[in-house]
Chain A
């Protein structure tokens, strides 16, 4: 029996946060996901910057998903200029994103959440008993990073993406050289799904509103409309009329709610449940063979969705490289004009929304960024309210670990969540 559960600093998450649960008469009384990572005011710095500075600055919101911050930024800014990306730029952006999904998902599966499911405190201790599993994971992750490096010059904060396309096309041969490794990675990713299907997930079924980007022809990452399991399809343009942010006292990150004041879920489980049909054949078959097809409503099983998405990312990367053949200039000419543009893309952790208003000379007048982890914070607390009664009878250590594990399963990116947001006024 437990009175309180407190984790001052969550381990194996990106950024700084903690959790607090107290019970009264056997029932949960107070629950907080504390975000004490200091704010960094990105939207404020962006005001007055030239539009081509934006992807370099927004990348620094997150060292694990810089590509997501660059892609949402360049797409939103291109929309403000009514610029349509070329087919080869679209291809290469998707490929760059595959690299980030692989790197981030493999890190999460094996090094962040995986240890909770295998009874280890870290991948380092897992490596003491199963070195080949950890070595394989590290090599898979490395392949994702190689894609980032070939296209972007380096894996953390790559430097090639710009409004209009790329500073320079990467060489076709250098990408083709990655294919043997990608084929190996695909096999390992398939094996990862089989392994993930056998892990002992804690029981918890949640009735979520899922929200994810949706594209009719592909598993949406770079572009599409926004699909919700509650309200159906909306355009990117309408996102802010349905999903709102609120500033709460114990958190340096804003919390998001629907217009009906309910929390909602973004990320791998949302994508997997909403867009399974759009996965490539390989990923779909692997999921069917492992018996892990949707629906999956257990937050701990986000790991399974990530594993299938890793198969998709490897498989898609191989397909994309085969059709990469740039002929046109790497950037589109830009005709400057005043305007506003919004775009959402799928960061590894979920929907990442950007909005920019620029003036006729190409300088940012206003920026707004809604990161995935900020959207999930209210959902994390709601899940803990559901979980807390179930762990009340457990020994302290096990109860704590089960709650911690729940938050880790979200793969929270706390540095992203606290970059800080503008405009919402909470008058209550």
Chain B
């Protein structure tokens, strides 16, 4: 039976690598089923046809890095009833927020023959820095099953089931031996939210935090351990400033660590 009104969904791209949109297209077993339940009204990477808004659900990939994007996100907020920040670029500025810790003018002059052609903001910021969002999914990239879970939850008017624990718990479930304790590898697992399946520790390497900070993580208590496991001075700061470096908790952690190293 065809439902009378299929809820509509719009997928948008800001400054990003497209990996989170691709994660939707990587729903190989569920994609066609999903299109039976919802109307993909706007998704440029997947289809040429565009249906006019307003839309029931908006998914936004990417971070805000230009003046145009600031205007665009306001319009999108207006067009979407339920707006979801999709992935760590959208939730915290992503890898391109590394510019926030440098000088973007120097960057532009280093990379462009004609820097005057380039219009970009000095920082990369999250979607919620500019508009109200209704939900967020972390990850670089997002976990595709979390995307389905989130959409289903919105359609059923309930909260999504998202992990509220650290990567460590996933790591234990996998039966991994702690890479920080046994190998002495710097690992952000204890302060990073679960969702990836602890893939880095499962590969014998430390977590680099791409699912963002665990809410209420014991950051201050963790800093001495991170510092003790550094292979070179500054490794902990680099680790924090890889993908989720612009998340407030990781900004704070990096500052604490730098202060500890100065002492």
Contact = CB atoms under 8 A, between A and B. Distances in A.
A63 B113 contact: no
Nearest to A363: B232
B106 to A, nearest CB: 8
A47 to B, nearest CB: 9
Interface in B146-203: 196-197, 199-200, 202-203
A44 B140 contact: no
B21 interface: yes
Interface stretch (A33-41, A75-83, A274-282, A285-293): A33-41
B69 A168 contact: no
Interface in B92-149: 94-96, 98-99, 102, 104, 106-108, 110-114, 117-118, 120, 140-141
Interface residues of B, number: 63
A297 interface: no
Interface in A106-138: 107, 111, 115, 121-125, 127, 131, 134-135, 138
Interface in B5-62: 13, 15-23, 25-26, 28-29, 31-32, 35, 40, 44-49
Contact of A11 (B15, B44, B102, B140): B44
Contact of A63 (B19, B47, B104): B19
B234 to A, nearest CB: 9
Interface stretch (B214-222, B235-243, B254-262): B235-243
B232 to A, nearest CB: 7
B153 to A, nearest CB: 23
Q: Is chain A's interface secondary structure helix, strand, loop, or mixed overall?
A: loop
A89 B120 CA distance: 40
Interface string A17-55: 000000000000000000011111101110001100100
A39 B17 contact: no
B235 A50 contact: yes
B76 to A, nearest CB: 14
Nearest to A16: B13
B46 A247 contact: no
Interface string A148-183: 000001111101101000111000000000000000
A210 interface: no
Interface string A50-80: 1001001100111110100000000000000
Contacts of A44: 99, 102, 106-107, 110-111
B81 interface: no
Contact size range, A: 35 or more
Nearest to B88: A60
A361 interface: yes
A111 B108 CA distance: 35
Nearest to B102: A44
A156 B26 contact: yes
Contacts of A396: none
B96 A426 contact: no
B199 A154 contact: yes
B202 A153 contact: yes
Given A66-B17, A160-B203, 9 more contacts: A10-B44, A40-B95, A53-B242, A56-B242, A121-B47, A121-B48, A156-B26, A159-B203, A425-B113
19 contacts: A11-B44, A14-B18, A40-B15, A41-B99, A41-B104, A43-B110, A43-B111, A50-B235, A60-B94, A60-B140, A64-B18, A66-B17, A122-B48, A124-B35, A138-B29, A141-B28, A168-B205, A249-B114, A415-B17
Which 9 pairs across A and B sit closest by C-beta, in order of nearness? A63-B19, A122-B47, A153-B199, A142-B28, A11-B48, A247-B113, A138-B28, A167-B203, A44-B107
